[in-house]
Amino acid sequence: MVKRVALIIADGSEEIEAITPADVIRRAGAECVVFSVSGEYVRGSHGIVIKADKLINRLNMDEFDAVVIPGGMPGAVNIAGNSAAVKAIARAAGEGKTVAAICASPAVVLAGNGLLKAEKATCYPAPNFISALGEKYTGKDVESCANFITANGPRAAMAFSLEICKKLGITPGF
């Protein structure tokens, strides 16, 4: 059965943290559907425009094995403030599906909405993000704990993407 991954983006998402997982997951033979909370076209934090596959109101977590949330500011804030995105992420987390967040998103989206149930996590090493994670913060580039995968930022995008594949039992072809 082909694994299916929902990737949620918003205006201000960090491009490398969105594109790298989408690319690696697709290279592994899984389906990665990009959902936007901002409209069909999303302008990333560095001005790169990404065309979403679908809008967030079309996301049904029954159809997906995992959800991926890139960071970037204000992308993480835009995702954290979108009720449909938060509802989908909460459902995935509650059902034990893989929830992967990188950079600002472990703190802003997951911890900020009370969704980070892992005992250990990491995020971009800004003091306010670290304090949002509290004692869960490990400072690692990538942290995998229970059904959560977290990572610290753009430099960890490839390792983050490979950890998602590992968790899903798929291997990218490169």
Tally of CB atoms within 10 A around 63: 11
Q: And the tokens for 78?
A: 């835009």
Please identify which residue in the block is written with the tokens 């490979």.
162
Catalytic residue among 32, 103, 123, 165: 103
* Greatest Cα pair distance in the chain: 42
Annotation marks residue 32 as catalytic: no
DSSP 99-162: EEEETTHIIIIIGGGT----S-B-----HHHHHHHGGGB---SEEEETTEEEE-SGGGHHHHHH
Which amino acids are annotated catalytic?
A: 103
